[in-house]
A = this chain, B = another copy of it.
Amino acid sequence: MFEELSAGTLDRDWDTEPGGAVRMAVVGVGGFARHLALPAIDASDYCTLTTLVTGSPDEKADLAAEYGAEEVVTYEAFRSGEVAEAYDAAYVVTPNRLHLPNAEAAAEQGKAVLCEKPLEATTDRAERLVRACEAAGVTLMTAYRMQTDPLVRRLRAFLRSGGLGDVVKLHADFTFPVLAGSYSPDHWRLDLHLAGGGALYDVGVYPLNTSRFLLDAEPVAVEATTTSSGPFEGVDERVAFQVRFPGDVVGSFSASFTGYADSTLTVLGTEGKLALEDAFVPRRQRRLVVDRESRTTFEGVGGEEVREEFDYFAHCVLAGTAPEPDGRDGLRDVRVMDAVYESAADGERVDL
């Protein structure tokens, strides 16, 4: 890892054969789709955009033209199968509670699904989503972009190889001041019904899923505190949660919709420590500090994970292999997050 990081050759560690192009329908054209997903698909090796699905097709005509989409249709048209011939896979990036009907429709049309995280707004709905894709026999990937970041993948290999000795603990934070940008207080992320949760669901899932990925381990217990005020009433504005993994490893995590933008991950082992700054921010050049006998710092590493995510997904579709961040992976996080909310509400540790 150190050599690759120094040389700037942090390439994919997965097999790219066979080639080809997966025709993508982007279902939901909000900020993330416009600013991150469409440019990533445009830059990808194995994806091509053919279809935009939106509540306002007329308004998105220019965007469709800019990215070369042939079809711009409503959700109803998409779900009815009207554009089934135009796409091979659907990227579902709607508000969380709309993941299920759109993923289900795509699956029933025999299409692969890349679904944003969290998988759905409730465990029950997430489970139905997974089952729909399994029943249809289509590929389902949960859009955990950290899992496709070559840097994060190298960190997992580094930890697996004992790079820090045995892992002892983790600390991580993702603070995303959601109202500091263009979002208003009536944005769906602050709506419990549409989102399923607040800061935990939207950004707390990053420390959780990334830790599960890095450790290759499942939480056995959680305990949590949530707070909320003002425009955030109804969802968690902030959450602090401890996740216990097997082997006496505990993660101390937090996530917030208010506060100075922050995104860090620290892993402490028996023989060293790694600290990642700008850990979870999309397309951000990250800073990695590894302390063992001495300190090694890498500036501006990783960060191309959104494009990698689309290519990895397309690769899985083309090669017929199962993605690592599959539906069960996404469902697991929804279950754990529900346990986090249960713990926060009841003031009790929840065993998983």
Chain A interface residues toward B at CB < 8 A: 164-165, 168-169, 171, 173, 175, 221, 223-225, 227-229, 237-238, 240, 242, 244, 248, 250-254, 256, 258-260, 262, 264, 266, 268-273, 291-292, 347-349
Given A173-B169, A240-B242, A250-B254: A260 and B223 within 8 A (CB)?
A: no
- Complex Cα spacing A273 to B264, Å: 12
Contacting residues, chain B, for A273 (C-beta < 8 A) = 260, 262
* 26 interchain pairs, CB-CB under 8 A: A168-B259, A169-B175, A169-B254, A169-B259, A175-B268, A223-B242, A223-B349, A224-B242, A227-B250, A228-B248, A229-B248, A237-B248, A238-B250, A240-B242, A240-B251, A242-B242, A242-B252, A252-B252, A252-B253, A259-B270, A260-B270, A260-B291, A260-B292, A262-B268, A262-B273, A347-B348
Check B253–A225 contact: CB distance below 8 A: no
| A165 partner residues in chain B, CB cutoff 8 A | 260
Cα distance A235–B266 in the bound complex, in angstroms: 25
* Most chain B beta-carbon neighbours within 10 Å: one of A224, A262, A269: A262
Given A242-B242, A347-B349, A252 contacting B171 (CB threshold 8 A): yes
Bound CA–CA A191/B30 (angstroms) = 58
Asked if B259 and A173 make an inter-chain contact with CB atoms under 8 angstroms apart, the answer reads: no
In whole angstroms, what is the CA distance A212 to B264 when docked? Answer: 23
In the assembled complex, the Cα of A265 lies from the Cα of B142 at a distance in Å of 34
Q: Please give me the residue from chain B that is nearest to A347 by CB atom.
A: B349
Which of chain B's residues has its CB closest to A275's CB?
B264
A125 CB to nearest chain B CB (Å): 29
Nearest Cβ in chain B — how far from A239, in angstroms?
9
Q: Which residues of B contact A228 (CB under 8 A)?
A: 248
Other than the known A228-B248, A252-B254, A347-B349, what 14 A-B pairs have Cβ atoms closer than 8 Å? A168-B260, A169-B259, A171-B173, A173-B268, A223-B225, A223-B349, A224-B242, A227-B248, A238-B248, A259-B268, A260-B268, A260-B291, A348-B348, A348-B349
Q: How far is the CB of A176 from chain B (nearest CB, A)?
A: 12
Contact across chains for B227 and A240 when beta carbons are under 8 A apart: no
Task: Check if A169 sits within 8 Å of B225, measured CB to CB.
Answer: no
Q: How far is the CB of A166 from chain B (nearest CB, A)?
A: 9
CA distance A240 to B244 in the complex (A): 9
Min CB distance A262 to B, Å, is 6
Q: A177's closest neighbor in chain B, by CB?
A: B270
Which B residues are CB-close (under 8 A) to A253? Answer: 252
* With contact pairs A223-B242, A240-B242 given, residues A260 and B347 touching in the complex (Cβ less than 8 Å): no
Ordered nearest first, which 3 A-B pairs have the shortest CB separation? A347-B349, A168-B259, A227-B248
* Residues of chain B within 8 A of A260, CB atoms compared: 164-165, 168, 268-273, 291-292
Closest B residue by C-beta to A239: B250
Chain B nearest CB, measured from A212 CB (Å): 17
